[in-house]
Structure 1
Amino acid sequence: MFDREHVVGLIGRGEVLAAYDIAHAALEAPERDDQAAYFAVLCLARAGALDFARSEYVRLGLHEVATHDAIALGARLLKDVALATTGARRLAFAKASIRQYEKLVQQYGGIYGAINAATMTLVSGNASGAAARAREALAMPAPVGLVGEAAYYDAASRAEAHFLTGNLEAAREAMNRAIALAPTAYAAHASTLRQFEMLCRETGADAAWLAPFRAPACAHFTGHILDTNGAALCGPALRQRVDQLLATQRVGFGYGGLAAGGDIIFAEALIAAGAELHVVLPVEQRSFVSVSVAPFGEAWVDRFERCLSQATSVRFASVDPYLGDEQVFAYSSQFAMGCAVLRAQTLSTEAVQLAIWDGHAGLGPAGVHADLTYWSRSERRRAVIEIERPQPSPRSPEEAGDPRRAMKAMLFADIQGFGALRDDQIPVFVDSVMGRLAGAIEALSARPVHVETWGDGLFLVFDEPIDAALAALALLEIHRTQDLRGLGLPRTLGLRIGGHYGPVHLRTNPVTKTPAVMGAHVVVAARIEPDVAPGSVCVSEALAGALATFHGDKVRCGYVGRTQGRKGFSSTPIFSLTRAL
């Protein structure tokens, strides 16, 4: 029996893929369940598998279901396609979504369908028609008794209507009322802000008016570990400067490490300010404490433990012990920066870097200078507290790390349903389906530096995260053009791709004598792909963060849930990957 309440709860927590698995399993039952069909398609849409969601919407007969949810979902799918494309296709889908939203209003009333019809009228190129529809939406009385987010969405919809009529001041006042009704509903605020940002692009309006409605900033924090005497990082004066910095930068969410010194000072200040602390440790906890906290005294260990106990979340860039490779610290910082940027995107707010820095250039791959240099590539804002410390001593050659270890972006891909093919279908699958994918790989401007394949499976390795991302999308798009039915293959053969970014070992396979890419991070990439919805790409938080930090103009990553943690492996957050609008 389909457990609707459980699925709704999963979706509310962002666990879209887990909800999809339950809904999809319910569809295998002998009796049709329209609710299971609705939630399966909704989850596909939220996971970024838009084309597959549209085909499933029709295949499962939801286009013939007259419930509010089914009609609204159909309208939303058409709207998403319109906003993701251009030209005649954009116009056609915009008009189709308008008809669907009109149907929703006619049958169920309410401002939701009316304001979306108005917005899509604008997208279709009819600004005067959009304004007329918006005025009709404003004339609708607000439902009685709305509270919390329901009241917020009604008021925010009216703000959108005012904007479409050209009354920016009324839109601003309505948004102020909406925020007051649910002041900490940051996810709801972000949804509205993204809608307004789209409307500003459509109308050419300056989006600066939205600034007062954005959530507090998301910060990556970085600071020096203690030196031999620790004087530059002790005392109340530095803490006061950090407190002031958090206030002036309006920080509500902080991501970083927890080493003795600057990291812990930032963490304590975030907790005291009522902000969320999100800790990212480079290695297994006991090993980290023994290297980066305990050498400076028990008092710092106590402060570490207090911060850790009050942290909103704790992530590990690696679960292995520290073996002397400083690259794990650099990777951990980059991971934390990506998390801050992803959270800022989710909340439609700003990401900023905060640092305590002595002004000295770094002598290795990790450290404050390395963090500042990496962040500066994104051209995002940063704020630095300058301190005076002696020049650090030179590093020994052994500290440079293993040259056979490097940062790589990895993709695992396969075709769901391949195992059910008949033997007589295998040749056409290999020649046509895999052949088309091979052609897409050969046509890439940045081809993989390492390729392995078995059956329907692909393992592709790239030097840069964006090269892996664009390759994944190219593969997905070429597969969508396949006429599977014309080839005598099931239409449900869906390509699914998982991706990850992290340090790997570059070795030679002793059996085949060929180059090999190995390590724990390869396993992370492999464990993502089985949980990906067919027709989509999902990537780890590390890869999503790197893409969000530097390539938000090309691709977009949205949280869709966690892997299932099969075969004793812990679950991990994953993000859908789509092209930026």
Structure 2
Amino acid sequence: MLCLARAGAIDFARVEYVRLGLDRVDDDPDAIALGARLLKDVALTAREPRRTAFAKASTRRYDALYQRFGGLYGAVNAATMTLIAGDRAGGQARAAAALRVPPPRGLTGEAAYFAAASRAEASFLIDDIEAARATMVEALACAPGAFAAHASTLRQLEMLCRETGVDPAWLAPFRPPVCAHFTGHILDASREGALASGLDGDLRHEADRVVRGQGIGFAYGGLAAGADIVFAEAVLDAGAELHLVLPVNLASFVAVSVAPFGRDWVERFEHCFARATSVRYASPDPYVGDEQVFAYASQIAMGCAVLRAQTLSTEAIQVVVWDGHATEGLAGAAVDLAYWAKGGRRQEIIAVRRPPSLPRQRSDQDADARTSRAMKAMLFADVKGFGALRDDQIPAFVATVMGQMAKVVSGLDAPPRHVETWGDGLFLVFDHPIDAALAALALQEAHRALDLRALGLPRSLGLRIGGHYGPVHLSTNPLTKAPAVIGAHVVVAARIEPEVAPGSACVSEALAGALAVFHGDRVRCGYVGRTRGHKDVAAIPIFNLTRA
């Protein structure tokens, strides 16, 4: 149920909570805390008077947790939810009482951190910002590397700042290290001679300066010869995490982007690759001349940096090693620079002087292959429980459930470019990630508004939606002669949908990242977990999709 809640399927999680009888449990602190959290989640996304009602219900549940088991967690959360319910004075009184509870003894690590962080939250509730600040310093000293725990507290305090109108700038010293996307030029010793050697040393000095000066703790990018490897070495030597996103399979990437530029670069690549925290591949295929896959890998890396920053409640920046020259291709430092700039986040440019890059040699066959490929956002949707319907229920399902989907799709401001449907299934293709995201949310909201019982249908019918973003082939179905959208990335989208909890929408890391870079003010994507891997199918991370 906690996974369901994190996936955004709050209503389904609450139904399961009651179905399993956990709402009647009074002797298990985890069960009580989970019930309080589910009520809190509803309250924080609701409007009056529903907001107040659920906030009060959450308060009662947290208070029951405190009364039965003691501890600051229940007491402070009861104080916070009292404030959310509109009773600020009552929340302050509860917070003051919580601060009078003697601190627990003997706690270490994250347990000690959360105890101190709870006291900081209580101090904030009674308007004692200085005490909250001092207590947060103590809390971080208990578990300095527990960044996920820090982020949880920061999100709670940010929410309280919004509720009370307090400037959240006081939280800046407590944020985890910065997340960075890095990109830059290949240094080709065969073309640039001594210049490449000199750039290597100067670049490393600048990379060290940026990593230290910006407080970078997590870096996402490629590992081509030149700027990528130099920056990766600086990141690793600083003790930060290196996360690689390679455009094609490993052997092909090394053959195209590392080995042609000297054996030294290959050795340095292997050293960095072995020390990387994670490695992602935009495509498992070899390079066939389509530069779009390099641009796609950079977009995934940028999205990963922003998503990680959101998860940790910290900042995402871009570090670009750039010679100042525009590029004629689909990929490269200049393209990455322009893409990130559209999101309005900070950029750190390390300027270098070098000859303009030579274009890659392309064959006519490669050019023909690229003309059929385009970047698209895709949604697969179906209704869990459709297969169990009686035959006499099918007409009502088609007329109402599918009819409602059709109404939503036809009313979208940015309709899909391609639609397919079969039974209860739906496949929609959009030009832009945000159009797919808004369509998914509109479909979910319309389905939730249906009175299924009045229609003679099971209330358990739940719409589930999976989404992905990537390059696909635009073709024609030889049997039906109708337009077709096919390719490996269509398969990725199709495999996500069966893993989604009914009543929610989940998307791939590629789609979540694209949304996070440009549309964080409209939608939010939170990490849920990984799909189930199979013999020939790797597990992939998925993110829930909700309105911001």
1:64 corresponding residue in structure 2: 24
Q: Structure 1 residues 263 and 371, CA, compared in 2 at 3 Å: closer, same or farther?
A: same
1:476 corresponding residue in structure 2: 444
Q: Residues 291-347 of structure 1, C-alpha deviation per residue, up to 9 Å, x if partnerless?
A: 111111111111111111110000000001101000000000000000011111111
- Whether 1:313 aligns to 2:278 is yes
- Whether 1:343 aligns to 2:308 is yes
Displacement of 1:534: 1.2
**SS of aligned partner of 2:320:** strand
Displacement of 1:424: 1.7
1:139 corresponding residue in structure 2: 100
1:560 corresponding residue in structure 2: 528
CA contact (8 A) 2:203 2:227 kept: no
Superposed, 1:423-442 pairs within 5 Å as 423-442=391-410
- Whether 1:42 aligns to 2:5 is no
1:385 corresponding residue in structure 2: 350
Task: Report the TM-score when normalising by structure 1.
Answer: 0.91
**SS of aligned partner of 2:357:** coil
Which residue type is aligned with residue 482 of structure 1? Answer: L
Which residue type is aligned with residue 46 of structure 1? Answer: R
- Whether 1:295 aligns to 2:260 is yes
CA contact (8 A) 1:355 1:383 kept: yes
Displacement of 1:99: 1.7
**SS of aligned partner of 1:325:** coil
Alpha-carbon distance in 2 for matches of 1:362, 1:230: 22
Alpha-carbon distance in 2 for matches of 1:476, 1:292: 43
Q: Structure 1 residues 226 and 114, CA, compared in 2 at 3 Å: closer, same or farther?
A: same
Displacement of 1:403: 2.4
Q: Residues 55-88 of structure 1, C-alpha deviation per residue, up to 9 Å, x if partnerless?
A: 2222222211212222211111111111112221
- Whether 1:53 aligns to 2:18 is no
Displacement of 1:554: 1.0
Superposed, 1:521-540 pairs within 5 Å as 521-540=489-508
**SS of aligned partner of 2:465:** strand
Which runs of 4 or more aligned residues in structure 1 lie more than 6 Å from their structure 2 counterparts after TM superposition?
none
CA contact (8 A) 1:47 1:576 kept: yes
Alpha-carbon distance in 2 for matches of 1:462, 1:453: 15
Which residue type is aligned with residue 339 of structure 2? Answer: Y
Identify which range, 73-82 or 156-165, moves more after superposition: 73-82
1:81 corresponding residue in structure 2: 42
Displacement of 1:226: 2.2
Displacement of 1:46: 1.7
Give the alignment partner of residue 380 of structure 2, picking from 397, 412, 430.
412
Alpha-carbon distance in 2 for matches of 1:349, 1:254: 13
- Whether 1:547 aligns to 2:519 is no
CA contact (8 A) 2:329 2:359 kept: no
In the alignment, structure 2 segments of 5+ residues that lack a partner are none
Task: Report the TM-score when normalising by structure 2.
Answer: 0.96
Which residue type is aligned with residue 404 of structure 2? Answer: R
Identify which range, 117-126 or 159-168, moves more after superposition: 117-126
RMSD after superposition: 1.4
2:123 corresponding residue in structure 1: 162
Which residue type is aligned with residue 49 of structure 1? Answer: A
Superposed, 1:348-367 pairs within 5 Å as 348-367=313-332
Alpha-carbon distance in 2 for matches of 1:230, 1:459: 52
CA contact (8 A) 1:451 1:459 kept: yes
Alpha-carbon distance in 2 for matches of 1:394, 1:520: 27
Alpha-carbon distance in 1 for matches of 2:116, 2:278: 33
CA contact (8 A) 1:218 1:352 kept: yes
Which residue type is aligned with residue 4 of structure 2? Answer: L
Superposed, 1:508-519 pairs within 5 Å as 508-519=476-487
Displacement of 1:436: 1.1
Alpha-carbon distance in 1 for matches of 2:461, 2:215: 48
Which residue type is aligned with residue 22 of structure 2? Answer: L
Displacement of 1:485: 2.0
**SS of aligned partner of 1:489:** coil
2:86 corresponding residue in structure 1: 125
1:190 corresponding residue in structure 2: 151
Q: Residues 107-145 of structure 1, C-alpha deviation per residue, up to 9 Å, x if partnerless?
A: 222211111111112112222221111100101112221
Alpha-carbon distance in 2 for matches of 1:564, 1:192: 30
**SS of aligned partner of 1:402:** helix
Q: Residues 455-488 of structure 1, C-alpha deviation per residue, up to 9 Å, x if partnerless?
A: 1111110111011111111111111112222222
1:244 corresponding residue in structure 2: 209
Alpha-carbon distance in 2 for matches of 1:358, 1:515: 43
Q: Residues 204-246 of structure 1, C-alpha deviation per residue, up to 9 Å, x if partnerless?
A: 1111111111111000000101242254443422211111111
- Whether 1:368 aligns to 2:315 is no
- Whether 1:90 aligns to 2:51 is yes
**SS of aligned partner of 1:568:** coil
Alpha-carbon distance in 1 for matches of 2:310, 2:420: 34
- Whether 1:277 aligns to 2:210 is no
**SS of aligned partner of 2:192:** coil
2:220 corresponding residue in structure 1: 255
Displacement of 1:557: 0.8
Q: Structure 1 residues 322 and 356, CA, compared in 2 at 3 Å: closer, same or farther?
A: same
Give the alignment partner of residue 177 of structure 1, picking from 100, 122, 138.
138
**SS of aligned partner of 1:510:** coil
Which residue type is aligned with residue 62 of structure 1? Answer: L
Alpha-carbon distance in 2 for matches of 1:244, 1:57: 51
**SS of aligned partner of 2:370:** coil
CA contact (8 A) 1:338 1:548 kept: yes
1:466 corresponding residue in structure 2: 434
Alpha-carbon distance in 1 for matches of 2:65, 2:193: 66
Taking only the aligned residue pairs, the percentage that are identical comes to 69
Alpha-carbon distance in 2 for matches of 1:150, 1:408: 45
Displacement of 1:392: 3.2
- Whether 1:229 aligns to 2:192 is yes
CA contact (8 A) 1:233 1:262 kept: no
CA contact (8 A) 1:412 1:458 kept: yes
Alpha-carbon distance in 1 for matches of 2:499, 2:471: 22
Alpha-carbon distance in 2 for matches of 1:566, 1:484: 35
Alpha-carbon distance in 1 for matches of 2:115, 2:532: 36
Alpha-carbon distance in 2 for matches of 1:266, 1:63: 52
Q: Structure 1 residues 383 and 329, CA, compared in 2 at 3 Å: closer, same or farther?
A: same
Q: Structure 1 residues 553 and 122, CA, compared in 2 at 3 Å: closer, same or farther?
A: same
Q: Structure 1 residues 176 and 512, CA, compared in 2 at 3 Å: closer, same or farther?
A: same
Q: Structure 1 residues 218 and 233, CA, compared in 2 at 3 Å: closer, same or farther?
A: farther
CA contact (8 A) 2:192 2:355 kept: no
2:178 corresponding residue in structure 1: 217
Alpha-carbon distance in 1 for matches of 2:171, 2:408: 41
